[in-house]
Amino acid sequence: MEFNKIEPIYAQIIQDIRLKLFNGTYTLGQEIPSRRELAKTLGVNPNTIQRAYKEMEDMNLIVTHRGQGSFVTSDAAVLAAIREEALYEAIHQSMELLRSFGKSDTEILTLIQSYLKRGASSCSKYLTQSSDLVTN
């Protein structure tokens, strides 16, 4: 896992685990590496890992059972809430970008609708090229 230098590492670890739960890499109730294991694997200060785990426990994202290890939540409602939050965050970031181009919210909504109508096949040459890069 690559860390950026700007955000606190513990926050990046939480993001990573959230994402893994969100995209199905971790299933509900699945065991995750222990604090020690993760610190060793990532080569990161174990106190930082401890902070990440504590916060995730407070969020009910993970559960730690003494002597058994740490597990992702088995509560589907928690997963649904995280997923929704992640979607809203993605939408928010896209909206901020589009607004910075000088478009109003109503204009943006119209643009999105026309984009969806057009479909992927008739995307511009530029978009096709970049999607080639992604698949390769």
Min CB(59)–other proteins separation in Å: 16
Looking at the Cβ atoms of 49 and 72, the one nearer to other proteins is 49
In angstroms, what is the minimal distance from the CB of 69 to other proteins?
Answer: 16
Closest approach, Cβ 48 to other proteins, in A, equals 6
Transcribe 74-136 into DSSP letters. Answer: --HHHHHHHHHHHHHHHHHHHHHHHHHTT--HHHHHHHHHHHHHH-GGG--HHHHHHHHHHH-
Binding site for other proteins (CB under 8 A): 3, 5-11, 36, 39-40, 43-48, 51
DSSP of 11-35: HHHHHHHHHHHHTTSS-TT-EE--H
How far is residue 46's CA from residue 135's CA, in Å, rounded to a whole number? 36
Nearer to other proteins, 9 or 62 (CB): 9
* Residue closer to other proteins, measured from CB, 45 or 68: 45
Smallest distance, Å, CB 96 to other proteins? 16
Q: With respect to other proteins, which residue has the nearer C-beta, 1 or 87?
A: 1
**Pick from 50, 52, 58: which is nearest to 78 by CA?**
58
Nearest CB to other proteins, comparing residues 40 and 118: 40
Q: What's the closest the beta carbon of residue 42 comes to other proteins, in angstroms?
A: 8
Would you call 4 exposed, middle or buried from its count of C-beta atoms within 10 A (0-12, 13-18, 19+)?
exposed
